[in-house]
């Protein structure tokens, strides 16, 4: 791990224009180090974070800053349309919303933010979106990290989401989400539960997408993940088109970066420093 001081991480806020509304982006950048000749060393590819079904930039908490400090890389996180500080969306996302993020949103972000090479890091459904982005831009994606990603719909996924849907009938649960999503909170819940529990979504899978991922891949997963068994990271590792490995964490549930942040940071920074997923 590089372990840049957190005080040397600079955070900035950016707004990206999209035809359907503005997208909020936050950037964490390590303070530039000057070489002996007064020049700055070239920066490695930035890490782009893709949040989960109920997530947003704020819900990553201090992880992006710590990730930037641990890797010495710029880290970017954005609120998908309908989430956090980004503009609202009308209607529930279509069945193809995971693939659509790589087609209609990420290219626009790359263009407006000047991103060329990048590292994709996705949590939960954001992992599926990161996989699609890595496959769609194989020459530009330097590495892929998935965390608690789903690759198909299994019984555990359905059971976990069904239970969550019942829990969100409690106004206090929605109230907690409003802190992050404002009046969009109920839409956020519905966008998750009504899409994933739609019978038309039952055959969704990333099996046909993963072979198009040519970069090194690290698939992190908690052994007690409520929304997916270890079959998901195993599928990522076995079907990815580049070097890939699954890292299953003991005593860990659906949010490894929050539950065991130091270990996740060490794992990710070591993976990126090695330049391959074989270590």
CA distances in angstroms from 142 to 22, 179, 215, 272, listed in the order given: 27, 35, 6, 9
Cβ(14)–Cβ(26) below 8 Å: yes
Q: Count of alpha carbons within 13 Å of 177, Cβ hemisphere only?
A: 22
Total domains in the chain come to: 1
**Residue 1, domain member (yes or no):** no
The pLDDT of 43-68, averaged and rounded, is: 97
What's the mean pLDDT in 169-181? 95
**Residue 215 within a domain:** yes
**Would residue 278 count as lying in a domain?**
no
Residue 37 in this model has a pLDDT that exceeds 60: no
Would residue 196 count as lying in a domain? yes
The pLDDT assigned to 43 comes to 82
Look up the domain containing 11 and give its range.
6-273
Read off the CATH number of the domain in which 153 is found. 3.40.50.1820
| pTM for the model | 0.94
Sheet strand arrangement including 141-147: 9-18, 21-30, 75-78, 47-50, 118-123, 141-147, 217-222, 244-249
Q: Which two tokens stand for residue 154?
A: 């299994």
pLDDT reported for residue 31: 79
The reply to whether 279 falls in a domain is no
For 243-263, the DSSP string reads -EEEEEETT--S-HHHHSHHH
Q: What is the DSSP letter of 11?
A: E
Residue 144 belongs to some domain of the structure: yes
The tens digit of pLDDT for each residue in 107-137 reads: 999 999 999 999 999 999 999 999 999 999 9
Residue 249 in any domain: the answer is yes
């Amino acid at each position: 791990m590089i372990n840049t001081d957190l005080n040397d991480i600079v955070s900035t806020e950016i707004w990206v224009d999209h035809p359907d509304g503005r997208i909020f982006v936050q950037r964490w950048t390590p303070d530039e180090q000057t070489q002996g000749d007064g020049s700055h060393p070239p920066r490695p590819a930035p890490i782009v974070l893709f949040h989960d079904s109920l997530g947003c930039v704020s819900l990553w908490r201090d992880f992006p800053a710590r990730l930037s400090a641990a890797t010495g890389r710029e880290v970017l996180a954005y609120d998908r349309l309908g989430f956090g500080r980004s503009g609202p969306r009308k209607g529930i996302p279509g069945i193809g919303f995971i693939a659509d993020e790589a087609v209609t949103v990420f290219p626009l972000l790359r263009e407006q933010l000047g991103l060329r090479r990048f590292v994709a890091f996705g949590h939960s459904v954001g992992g599926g979106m990161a996989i699609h982005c890595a496959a769609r831009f194989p020459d530009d994606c330097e590495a892929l990290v998935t965390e608690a990603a789903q690759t198909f719909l299994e019984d555990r996924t359905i059971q976990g989401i069904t239970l969550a849907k019942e829990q969100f009938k409690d106004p206090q649960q929605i109230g907690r989400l409003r802190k992050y999503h404002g009046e969009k909170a109920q839409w956020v819940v519905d966008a998750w539960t009504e899409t994933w529990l739609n019978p038309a979504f039952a055959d969704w899978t990333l099996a046909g997408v993963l072979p198009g991922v040519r970069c090194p891949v690290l698939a992190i997963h908690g052994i007690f993940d409520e929304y997916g068994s270890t079959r998901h990271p195993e599928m990522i590792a076995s079907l990815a088109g580049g070097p890939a490995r699954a890292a299953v964490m003991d005593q860990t549930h659906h949010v490894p970066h929050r539950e065991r942040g130091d270990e996740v940071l060490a794992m990710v920074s070591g993976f990126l420093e090695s330049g391959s997923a074989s270590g």
